[in-house]
Each structure stands twice: as structure tokens, then as C-alpha cells.
Structure 1
Amino acid sequence: MDKAGHIALIADDDEYFRLALQTILADQLGFSSIVQAASLDEALEQLSQKPSKSLALFDYSIPGIKSAACLTAVRDCFPNLRLAVLSMSQQKQDILAALNAGVHGYLPKTISPAQLVSALRLIMDGLIYVPPSVASIAPASDGVQMLKAVTEKRLPIENLTPRQREVLELLMQGKSNKEIAKSLSLGEGTVKVHMAALFRAFGARSRAAVAAAGSQLLSG
């Protein structure tokens, strides 16, 4: 796939790593523009302001990410985006959780630059990259189902990030996305992604249903 003219996002709180990855994306993969973010909110602002980005790389440990569900909301709001996780973790449960969230690849930070380039090419060509350490799991869906079962034992409110709880509390006050954005000094696009995460967390289809579920759990 020709990446000339394509824009990538790197969301990582390590500035030196971002700069190194930016060089790889530009020199080895031909991306014309790379933007950076050090937190989930910064990344969402970047994606919302210029939704034409074709690739986003998220470090699992950046501020604002509590679980893989955050990335599922990103996928929901930016369906044309190729999304991959960067992480120091090589635990199978972390890799499976990310894949279950709908990312297009899981990239351990321990892989070599050459392996990273090959993996990103696969992802940009429409394939899913799975580290060799879990590629042999058969069937992978068994592990995914196990993770789902563990997650379902927790209340939805326990899986929310601090920012998502702030958005929920303002939603329960009847505020619109625009009002929530103003209250939290965020862009409306960023609020939209957090709202999508809340809808998914509570299994709700309307703002009223999210507000009602949130009110019940917070007062319980």
C-alpha cells in the first residue's frame, strides 16, 4: 500500500520513543505527516481535529487508558483508522484483550526496528498482526471468551477511566456534548469518543439510559 500523503498518530508518553518511531514511519514507511500525543485525551483531540489519519499507534500505558475498552471506542468513532497497540507487556492476556477490543495489531516494544516495519506494513495492508508468542494459541477465541467472562464480573463503573467518570457525571446533570466539552476544556470530538465508551460500558443505546444506569450505580 502506498502511504504517500498518509498521516499517522503516535500516542506515547515517552518523547524519545515517539521521535524514534516518527523517524521509522517517515523514512521506512513513507508517511508524509506524523502527529504526536502524550495522553488519551491529546490523542482523541488530534483524531477529532483531523479524522483523515490512516494509522494510530497507542501505548497501553499512556495517561487516560485504563483498559482495552478505551480503544474499542476509538474504533467505533474512527472506523477507517488502522489501530495498533504498543506495549512493553508480552502477557498473553494483555495481547488477547487488545485484539478482542478490535485493534489491528499488538506490537511489543521489544521487537527490532525491522520487525516493527514489517508488522506495520501488514497492518496498513489490511491484515492483523499478532506477535509470534500468541500466534500459536488455538483457538484464540477461547482466551478471548475467558477474558470476557472475567470482565463481566466487574461493574461497568469500575472499568471507567477518571475522564469517563467526569463525562458521565456531567451527562447525568443533563449537559449536552458541547456543554461537557466546555466544562472539561475538551473538544466535542473527544467527548464523543468518551461517550461512545460509556454507551459500550453500560450496553446502552441512548444518553438517557447511560445517565440512568450511571445514577443507579453511583448512588448504590
Structure 2
Amino acid sequence: MDRKSAHSALIADDDEFFRLAMTAILSRHFGFKEIVETGSLDAALDQLAQRANGISLALFDLAMPGMEGPGSLSAVRDCFPWVTVAVVSGSSERRKILAALEVGVHGYVPKGLGSSELTRAIGMILEGQIYVPPSLAILDGPARTSASERRAGFEGGDMPRAGRTVELTPRQRDVLSLLVEGKSNKEIARQLQLGEGTVKVHIAALLRGLGVQNRAAAAVVGARLLAG
């Protein structure tokens, strides 16, 4: 991404002090004119849906309300492919790092990094590299040869995600339940107190996760899933 053409960035984290720190880094070092702050996944999806192409970078914490692990970011990558998406997390678990890379994020940045290293990591991501902690190669014994780990050192492009199933979050289950009832996006949004754009993102994630192409098929599969 050309830093001179950067528009807005999104920080989705329920830690207000961390959001303030990241806002300072993004505006001071990378020239973002507007930093959108949210404290939950639903609020982040709503902002992304409302602002269309305005947001070029989105940073997500994995422990905030609505987030069910790295799989929750699949919908973000699918519905907003132009957005550079990265995880900034308090966890450095190898399993979570690899799961995040599997769904196509552009980097996994531990919160425990110092300010200068955190700035360097964000800079690498904005330059098109996929940042992972240096410790990834030595955690849990010898380095493995999985696709995720091989990909972790490459630059640019998206992670291969074919065949990966999205785990349904509680919110997605709520949306699916209303979809099965035949509710429209507007009705679902009103009942769940969400923006219509956010509902569209959740439905896109459901279609992908259920492996279907349209709402009707999702309703059939969803009815069986919810009944089980």
C-alpha cells in the first residue's frame, strides 16, 4: 500500500489504552488521517460495511467481544478483500498464529512487542509482507513444513484458504436462525440491532462456512444444523 494514499485505519480491540497507543503509531509513523476505534467484532464489521473502500488497514484483537478466534476473520477477508487485515494479540500461541495465517491475515503481531518493534511490524505489513513473531519457528520443537508455516515467510498475496470451514460464532448462529425463519436482511438487522451491512457480512460468512451458494441453500443446511 502506498502510505501517501492511505485513507483510514480500523483498530478493533476492547482495550482502550492499547487503541490509543496504536492510534498514535498509525497516525505519527504511517500517515493515517483517520483511525476508527471499535471494541467488538460486530462494531468492526459495521464500520467496514459502512465505510466501503475508505478503510485500508484493519487490526483485530482475538480476545474482544464477538471474536471466536482467528476463524472469525474469514468473513472480513472474504467480504473486504482490499483491506489489509492483521491480528494484534496478547497471545503468542503457535496454534492461534497458524490458524490466523490459514484464514489469510497479513500478519500476527504480539502485543508484548516494544513500541519500536511494534512499529516495525506494522510497517512490514503495510509494505506487503506477512509478519509473524520470530519465535514461531522455534515454538513447540522443530519447524514444521505445513502450508501455513511455509507461507509465513513469503511476501504479498493471500493465504490459500480453499476448503477451510468457518466456525460459526454465536452471532452468526443468531443470524442463521433468523435466516432459516425466512427473515430479510432488514428484518434480521432490526431484530438483532445490527446494521444491514453487518448482517450482509455475517451471511457471507455463513454461506462460506456452510459451503453453499445462496440463502435458500443456507436455510436448508442451517435448519438441519440448528435442529442437531
Q: Displacement of 1:138 after TM fit? A: 4.2
Tell whether the 8 Å contact from 2:86 to 2:109 is kept in structure 1 after alignment.
Answer: yes
Q: Displacement of 1:143 after TM fit? A: 6.5
Structure-to-structure mapping, 1:29-108, within 5 angstroms: 29-51=30-52, 52-108=54-110
Match of 1:187 in 2: 195
Structure-to-structure mapping, 1:112-127, within 5 angstroms: 112-127=114-129
Q: Displacement of 1:3 after TM fit? A: 4.0
| Structure 1 stretches lacking a partner, 5+ long | none
Structure-to-structure mapping, 1:85-164, within 5 angstroms: 85-135=87-137, 137-141=143-147, 159-164=167-172
Residue correspondences, number: 210
Match of 2:179 in 1: 171
Moved over 3 A (4+): 135-138
**Letter of the aligned partner of 1:162 in structure 2?**
P
Q: Displacement of 1:69 after TM fit? A: 2.1
Report the more deviating stretch, 13-22 or 116-125: 116-125
Tell whether the 8 Å contact from 1:119 to 1:129 is kept in structure 2 after alignment.
Answer: yes
CA separation in 2, counterparts of 1:118 and 1:138? 26
Deviations 1:164-217, CA, capped at 9 Å, x for gaps: 111001100111112211211111110111112111221111111111111112
Match of 1:14 in 2: 15
Q: Displacement of 1:57 after TM fit? A: 0.3
**Letter of the aligned partner of 2:222 in structure 1?**
G
SS of alignment partner, residue 63 of structure 2: coil
CA separation in 1, counterparts of 2:218 and 2:126? 35
| Structure 2 stretches lacking a partner, 5+ long | 151-160
SS of alignment partner, residue 27 of structure 2: helix
With normalisation by structure 1, the TM-score equals 0.89
Q: State percent identity of aligned pairs.
A: 53
Please give the root-mean-square deviation of Cα atoms over the aligned residues, in Å: 2.0
Match of 1:199 in 2: 207
Tell whether the 8 Å contact from 2:102 to 2:148 is kept in structure 1 after alignment.
Answer: no
Alpha carbons of 1:204 and 1:11: their partners in 2 closer, same or farther (altered >3 Å)?
same
Tell whether the 8 Å contact from 1:45 to 1:189 is kept in structure 2 after alignment.
Answer: yes
CA separation in 2, counterparts of 1:32 and 1:15? 19
With normalisation by structure 2, the TM-score equals 0.86
Tell whether the 8 Å contact from 1:69 to 1:197 is kept in structure 2 after alignment.
Answer: no
Deviations 1:24-62, CA, capped at 9 Å, x for gaps: 111122111101000001111111111210100000011
**Letter of the aligned partner of 2:74 in structure 1?**
T
Tell whether the 8 Å contact from 1:56 to 1:84 is kept in structure 2 after alignment.
Answer: yes
SS of alignment partner, residue 28 of structure 1: helix
**Letter of the aligned partner of 1:118 in structure 2?**
R
